[in-house]
Amino acid sequence: MDNFSIQISSNLVNKLVEDAEKSKRKPRRTKKATRERPQPQAKITQKQGSDDSETLKGPGAKGWPFQSPLFVPVTPPSQSPYEELDAIRSVLQESERVVEQLQKQEENMLQEVTQKAKELRDKEFKLPFQKPMPCSNEKDACLSCYKEHADNPLKCAGVVTSFENCARRIRQQVGSAEK
């Protein structure tokens, strides 16, 4: 295997340091800067000191300190998955109860509306008291006689005469009442 080496010039190191300082001074803002970002639960800490720092050395390097950050593991939420599932179940049960109550209310309201509509319809379309048709018994007797004696209608002459007499009496009563 061939040994090879990476050379880092001091100009490159200086440029990286300057870029890092510029980024610390002016935080970049994107178009979506108005949206809030969630805060991390764990902090990334960095110790400064000679014991944690390493120095890059190479041809032309001036001993630029390189510090490695110490990462703290992110802790899971305080609720266990079972507690979260129980909370979801309780919310679902509560919503089912609310839906049942709403359905009962809807049924009650539907019955009330149907009853009110029936009452209104009955009041609106109720026919006023009508007098019975005069001579209806004589008329019915004539019709039944003609049905029985379709081949000889002269047998119904007596029934027809009684119907004529009834009709004449009614005409006279109405005529005298108008005068």
Q: How confident is the model at residue 30 (pLDDT cuts 50, 70, 90)?
A: low
Looking at 10-156, list the stretches that DSSP marks H as alpha helix, in order from N- to C-terminal side. 10-25, 81-124, 136-148
Average pLDDT over all residues of the chain = 75
User: What pTM value is reported for the model?
Assistant: 0.30
Angle, to 10 degrees, between the axis of helix 136-148 and the axis of helix 157-178? 160
The residue type at 125: F
Place of tokens 């009452």: 119
Token reading at 57: 């050395």
The domain limits of the chain are 79-126, 136-178
Q: How confident is the model at residue 178 (pLDDT cuts 50, 70, 90)?
A: confident
CA distance 95 to 150: 76
Question: What DSSP state is assigned to residue 34?
Answer: T
Overall size of the chain counted in residues: 179
Dump pLDDT digits (tens) for 35-77. 555 554 444 444 444 444 444 444 444 555 555 455 545 555 5
Dump pLDDT digits (tens) for 116-165. 999 888 887 777 777 788 999 999 999 999 999 999 999 999 999 999 99
